[in-house]
């Protein structure tokens, strides 16, 4: 292994056994799941790359933190510790804990959006857009054009907002119709692409000039901070913690899924600077989640999240995290497997259209490829394409994103480089025989968030 790919920066002192899943069992599992990898039982997966949400391995200090959970119904000590850490690392004034990130998305959308509003963002995310549309807003994608081109390598910040697109929206609908911009750092569906500090500052200046709030989707913010340190001039000598704090200094709040960069198996929070919005958020969290000092979480979960935030900015950890994805990408790229470039911070995104050129988008190539990867190897991945994009709420037609991808999502501190080799070998072998993969059609289609529970059959 080259010097670039240093060994895992941790020792393993607790293990979960893995068992290879034979071909007969895989075939039965994918049929029973209706070719939806979300519906496969965990015990039927050999290497599970479905998501990095809630799948992290917690550290010894986090496990120790579970033992000092203050489970008081109100005023838990762990809440005040989490609040202290979030203020130190994120800089926001107010904290509202939630059971996970979509709980924070629900509250933010409900207290800020009026029917007829518009919410611009750097590419949609499934649950985020759902909450925005549920409250009467129209999502508008203002990401740079390069983000929609999977082959365009050498663009260090493909998650950047296109300021001309944003200004055009403001001019067309009026700033009073835009309660906030949703600024994702990094951009999941673009392939985990980061946003530059320069772009964050420019977006902040433009929005605040028009009285528009800047709200971050901070789910993978530490990965974004690492990419700024690695790629943006003037930040090489700054710590990841310093970069993270500066990123958020240009905004008004954030939603956070603690199940990602906070290195926990549960939890999330909403941050706000506005006092009046904070009062509304506290009133709402009581109705739907729990007291404002726990928000659907146990005290021990908040303690683990506070510890996880501190660990997440440690350079050795985050450098290994990003380089493990890079290692998998380079192995696949050497064999010609098509994917989104440059590689992101949490996953490799296979380009399903290029992988399966014989399938039309309406034949759900990404869903078919995810099913085929599991079928051939026992590796569970997930679709990020036309199925995830869903249907237009007004016309009922499929949204047809330019990116039709399969996400190979790497859990944090869970797998080793040897596991990445197995995944790479499986995908490379499948690519050689890709022409045999058949398209899919719906057997059951839920009205919303269909990628979670939809069922399919082969064409």
Name the residues annotated as catalytic: 73, 125-126, 217, 260, 384, 451
φ, ψ (nearest 5 deg) of residue 157: -135, 70
302: helix, strand or coil: helix
Residues 334/339/344/347 CA torsion (nearest 10 deg): -90
Contacts of 24 (CB under 8 A, 6+ apart): none
Contact between 94 and 272 under an 8 Å Cβ cutoff? The reply is yes
The helix-helix angle for 417-432 and 365-377 (nearest 10°) equals 120
225: helix, strand or coil: helix
Contacts of 270 (CB under 8 A, 6+ apart): 95, 96, 98, 104, 107, 108, 253, 254, 255, 256, 281
- CB crowding 77-102: b at 16 or more within 10 Å, else e: ebbebbbebbeebbbbebbbbbbbbb
The percent of the chain in helix, strand and coil, each rounded to the nearest 5, is 45, 15, 40
φ, ψ (nearest 5 deg) of residue 98: -135, 165
Contact between 431 and 335 under an 8 Å Cβ cutoff? The reply is yes
The answer, yes or no, to whether the previous bond of 342 is cis (omega within 30 of 0) is yes
Contact between 270 and 281 under an 8 Å Cβ cutoff? The reply is yes
Run of H or E including 180: strand 180-184
What's the alpha-carbon Rg for the chain, to the nearest Å?
21
* Antiparallel, parallel or unpaired: β 268-272 and 253-257: antiparallel
């Amino acid at each position: 292994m080259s010097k670039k790919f240093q060994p895992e920066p941790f020792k393993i002192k607790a293990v979960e056994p893995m068992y290879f899943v034979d071909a007969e069992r895989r075939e039965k599992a994918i049929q029973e799941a209706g070719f939806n990898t979300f519906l496969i039982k965990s015990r039927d997966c050999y290497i599970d790359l479905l998501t990095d949400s809630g799948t992290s391995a917690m550290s010894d200090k986090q496990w120790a933190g579970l033992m000092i959970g203050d489970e008081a119904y109100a005023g838990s000590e762990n809440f005040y510790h989490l609040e202290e850490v979030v203020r130190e690392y994120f800089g926001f004034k107010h904290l509202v804990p939630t059971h996970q990130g979509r709980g924070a998305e629900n509250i933010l959308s409900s207290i800020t959006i009026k029917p007829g509003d518009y919410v611009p963002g750097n590419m949609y995310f499934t649950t985020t857009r759902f909450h925005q549309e549920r409250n009467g807003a129209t999502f508008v994608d203002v990401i740079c054009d390069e983000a929609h081109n999977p082959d365009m390598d050498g663009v260090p910040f493909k998650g950047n907002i296109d300021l001309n697109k944003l200004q055009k929206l403001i001019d067309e609908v009026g700033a009073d119709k835009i309660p906030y911009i949703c600024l994702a750092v990094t951009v999941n569906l673009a392939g985990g692409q980061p946003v530059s500090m320069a772009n964050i500052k420019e977006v902040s200046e433009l929005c605040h000039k028009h009285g528009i709030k800047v709200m971050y989707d901070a789910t993978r913010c530490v990965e974004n901070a690492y990419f700024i340190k690695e790629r943006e001039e003037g930040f090489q000598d700054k710590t990841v913690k310093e970069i993270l704090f500066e990123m958020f200094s240009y905004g008004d709040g954030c939603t956070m899924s603690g199940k990602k960069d906070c290195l926990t198996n549960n939890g999330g929070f909403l941050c706000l600077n506005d006092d009046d919005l904070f009062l509304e958020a506290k009133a709402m969290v009581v109705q739907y989640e729990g007291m404002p000092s726990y928000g659907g979480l146990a005290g021990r979960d908040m303690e683990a999240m506070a510890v996880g935030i501190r660990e997440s900015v440690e350079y050795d950890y985050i450098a290994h995290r990003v380089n493990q994805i890079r290692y998998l990408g380079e192995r696949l790229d050497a064999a010609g497997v098509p994917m989104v470039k440059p590689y992101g911070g949490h996953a490799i995104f296979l380009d399903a259209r290029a992988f399966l050129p014989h399938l039309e988008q309406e034949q759900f190539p990404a869903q078919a490829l995810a099913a085929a990867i599991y079928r051939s190897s026992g590796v569970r991945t997930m679709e990020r394409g036309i199925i995830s994009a869903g249907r237009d709420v007004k016309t009922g037609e499929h949204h047809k994103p330019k990116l039709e991808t399969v996400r190979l999502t790497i859990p944090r501190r869970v797998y080793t480089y040897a596991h990445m080799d197995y995944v790479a070998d499986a995908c490379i072998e499948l690519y050689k025989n890709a022409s045999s993969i058949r398209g899919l059609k719906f057997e059951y289609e839920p009205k919303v968030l269909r990628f979670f529970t939809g069922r399919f059959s082969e064409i």
